Each structure stands twice: as C-alpha cells, then as structure tokens.
Amino acid sequence: MMFKKVLIANRGEIAVRVIRSCREMGIQTVAVFSEADRNSLHVMLADEAYHIGPAPSVDSYLRIDKIIDVAKKSGADAVHPGYGFLSEKADFARALKKAGIVFIGPTAENIEAMGDKLASRELMKEAGVPTVPGSPGSIRDADEAVKASNKIGFPVIIKASAGGGGKGIRVVHDPKDLPSAFRACQSEGKNYFGDDRVFIERFIQNPKHIEVQVFGDTHGNVIHLFERECSVQRRHQKLIEEAPSISVPEKVRQQLGAVAVKAAQSISYIGAGTIEFIFDNNTKEFFFMEMNTRLQVEHPVTEMITGVDLVREQIQVAQGEKLSITQDEIQKNGHSIELRICAEDPITFIPSPGKIRLCRIPQGSFVRMDSYAYPGYEIPIHYDPMIGKLIAWGKNREECVARLQRALAEFMLTGVKSNIVLHKNILNHKKFLDGSYTTQFIDQEIADRDQQELFMFVDEKVFLISAAITAFKDNQSRDIPQYNTFSRWKNLARRDGLRR
C-alpha cells in the first residue's frame, strides 16, 4: 500500500527530517505538538498540525491514546515515531496495529526482543554474536579465577556482583596480581555490600563505540550500511559521530557487517535498526552491547556515505516494499561526520534554554544542517537541548574535518549558550584528528578546560569593547527626557553633567 498521509509522533529536528522525506515522496504530513511547541518548526512545515496536550512529554508526546486519536481524525495511514519518545515502545506499535494504522518501524516483537539489555545479550550470544568474554557465573576462589581469566584473556576486570562507587572493582593486567586482587574484591564485596560473589570479564582498555546500521524488510532481506563510530560522548550521550570509523580495519569491517546482519536476521528484524558494539582499539575485537530498534540521531552520516535516504527506506519498507538496494549495491563513498549542536553550557554541559536571537546556519558545499532552530525561536525547557546536527561530507576524513571546521566558523548562534565552541576545540584536538580517541576522550582531554582555553578563538578584548560600545549606545538612546521634561535648563545642565 502507498501511504497518502503520515503522522509524525515527534518534535524537533527529527520531525522536520521526517517531514522532508515524506514531502519528497508526495506524502502529506501531520504534525502533533505540545503546548510548548506551537512555535516549533515542525508545526510550520507540516501540512496539518494538531495540539495534543501540555508541555510535559508524559502528557503529550508520550500519550499513545491522543496520538492515535489524531491519526484517526486526520486520516493518516501510518505513524513515524522518530527517535526517543514512543519509538521503542512495543505497546505503541501494537496499539497502532489494532487501530489499523501502520507503525513505521520494527515489529512489537522486534522491540521486545531487544528491549531488555541483559536478555538481548543472551539472545545474541545464542545467535553466535560475540559478547564481552566473561565468567559464566560467580567465581568461588583464586584458583578458579586464574583459570577463568586465562580463558577470557588479560587484562581482566574483577567485579564484586554488588560492587559500586569504585569499591569491589579491580583491573588486572598481570596474571600474577590476580589472586590478591580477587581476594580484595571478594572481601570488599562482603564488607561493603554483604555479598561476596565475584565475576570476571575482559577489560576493554581503549574502548570505542562502534555501531552498525542494519535494515530489514518484510520479504526476509536484511542488509547493513556499514559502521558509525560514536566514541565522542559526554555523560554517556553522543556528541560526534562519524562514518566510517578510522579505527576499523577493512577486514574487521566485513566481519562487523556480517555479524550485524546475522544478529538482525536472528530476530527477523524489520526496518531501520542499529547494533551497538564495544570495540577494543588495541585488539580490534568487537562485542555486542545492545540493539536500538529505531532510526538513530546520527543516521545522516550513513546517508552521506551510502547515498541512501534512510527515512524514505523506512517508509517504503513499512509500505511492504522490498529494500530498494541489495547488499552488493551498497558502496561506501568518502567520509562523513556529524556534530550535535546543543543549547548548553560548553563546559558544564548544563542545558541553556531560551530565545535564539541570531541563527546563521552554515552553508556551502557538502555541508548539511538538520535543525529546527530559527531566529526568535524560544527553546523550551521541557525537551532535549539538541537543536540540530551539523553534518559534512568529504572524500576522505581530513577533507571532512576541514569542511566542518569551516562550517563551524560560519555558524552564528546567539541568545543561548551552545556547544559550538566545544566542537571547534574537539576538531582541533590531536587525538580526534589522529582517530585514537576513545569513549573516555571528553572526560580525559576536554572536560577540565576552562572558558579561557575553550574560547581561544576570540581576543578577550572583543567582548569588553563590544559590550562597552553597546552600553554607550543604549545609554544615549535611553529616554532621557522622561526624567526631566519640565525645564530645558535642567535638561541642559544634566546633559552637561553627563558629558563630563
């Protein structure tokens, strides 16, 4: 069936992103919005827009009943959930099905299979997908610990099962340190947490976040669209993503793709999904972490290197069509990097909602901005501080980085704090440039920088002089006659006084 109208059960840049592909496909779009989002860009861009409740998302964007009501009222054939909100709620997929509306995403069963992290890891293990090597159960004594560790491979991390806050955790690099570390963990576990059960796992020294984009259709086809690296993270949230990863050798890339396809096939996955792996940059091994059963924030970098519009593909698959490309037809071309632009303090990462004054978005060759920001828009406090994503393509990584640096230099966003300046710093950092960065990068290399260092692109005096001249002008244009309209003499004397 061909959709005539699609409801987008989301807001922000992803709602705008989905509207764009719908419009290109000749599909009408229905926006839903909370009280705080009347002025949001997706409401203005969609063909229809329906108010669905107060600002808190539990009362609006998470209300399955209201969204289904609007879908029925507007006559939408399908609902695109975007990411976040209801995108990975099996109940939502089921409720839509019951209402005779297509959910543009995986099946409710797919979502449930991957919804529980621990259960999904066991499921993947059974399907032959590598997981972080570890002891199958708790280890009783030092001898057993040595045996298990030799099998797992050093370095290992010993964890008291109840451990936390740095207690009951030991990393062991040298086998001869193992017995004492094991006993220490066991006794810490017992003393601090009243539980002496201890587990052993492989310790990943230089961990990178590598994920693979997969796509399945209702005809049993599953393909992958190469990997993305998302190791630049703050507070466990991604900040920069790129495709392909500079750290993945070609041979490992083939394995990654094959394993990801196998993982998706094992649950008969339908639609866009992402298999996340932890990648050991020393050994180049990768281990399954979890699967995200939705379109990812960072999907544009995959689009840029493969030329596939992932949202269009999602819609076509939901319409029951076969994937428009086969595995053999997918070529990766060049390099793409995405920077998440957030209205937040670049040092503390505290969100900075408020009114955008100026917003000059970078343009020029091979630069893409997926955003919902515009001048005068008031960023609400209720939702994510990410206002958009700056994406660039280059025929190689160096060209891509240079293009992004250029784009950042053009970016003008005022009225709210933003992490633009943080991105400038990261894009100048040796470890980012040589690709050796890991998930610890922000904490170890960036987080303790102060403003002075972060703002190195500006001569400090520029701030002061600009403020002074502006204050001077404001002072002069202030309605002075308001104070003393009665006597011209007083007025003159007063002006004279001010001139001194």
Partner 1 sequence: MLFEAEVNGKNYEVKVNEARQHWKVSIKEEDADWVNYEISKEDYQSLDNTISFIFENSSYLVDAVGSGTEYTVYTRGAYREVKIFNDEMLLHESLKSGSAMGDSDSLTSGMPGKIVEVFVKDGEEVTKDQPLIIMEAMKMENEMRASADGKVKSVNVKPGDNVESGQTLINFEQ
Task: List interacting residues with partner 1 (CB under 8 A).
Answer: 357-358, 360, 408-409, 411-415, 417-418, 420-421, 423-424, 451-452, 454-455, 457-472, 474-475, 478, 482-485, 490, 494, 497-498
Choosing from 294, 368, 397, 403, the catalytic residue is: 294
Of 127 and 420, the one with the shorter C-beta distance to partner 1 is 420
Q: Which is nearer to partner 1, 363 or 475 (CB)?
A: 475
Nearest residue to 147 via CA among 197, 196, 187, 200:
200
Neighbours of 377 (CB within 10 A): 19
CA-to-CA separations, 304 to 19, 22, 52, 78, in angstroms, rounded: 19, 19, 34, 26
User: Considering beta carbons, is residue 24 or 410 the nearer one to partner 1?
Assistant: 410
From the CB of residue 99, how many other CB atoms can be counted at a distance below 10 Å?
13
Nearer to partner 1, 412 or 492 (CB): 412
Q: By the 8 A CB rule, do 67 and 91 touch?
A: no
CA–CA gap between residue 329 and residue 311 (Å, rounded): 18
Q: Cα–Cα distance between 223 and 221 in angstroms, integer?
A: 7
The least distance separating partner 1 from the CB of residue 490, rounded to whole angstroms, comes to: 7
Give the span between the Cα atoms of 490 and 289, in whole angstroms.
Answer: 77
Task: Say if residues 112 and 267 touch (Cβ distance below 8 Å).
Answer: no
Nearest approach in angstroms of CB 255 to partner 1 is 39
Residue closer to partner 1 by CB (options 247, 425) is 425
Instruction: Output the smallest distance, CB 479 to partner 1, in A.
Output: 10
Cβ nearer to partner 1, comparing 119 with 358: 358
> Does the annotation count 478 as an active-site position?
no
Report phi then psi at 133, rounded to 5: -65, 140
Q: How far is the CB of 463 from partner 1 (least distance, A)?
A: 4
Shortest separation between residue 458's beta carbon and partner 1, angstroms? 5
Q: In angstroms, rounded to a whole number, what is the distance separating the alpha carbons of residues 99 and 393?
A: 41
User: Closest approach of Cβ 125 to partner 1, in Å?
Assistant: 45
Query: What CA–CA distance (Å, rounded) separates 92 from 63?
Result: 9
CA distance 35 to 382: 11
Which one, of 232, 223, 220, lies nearest residue 306 by Cα?
223
State the catalytic residues. Answer: 294
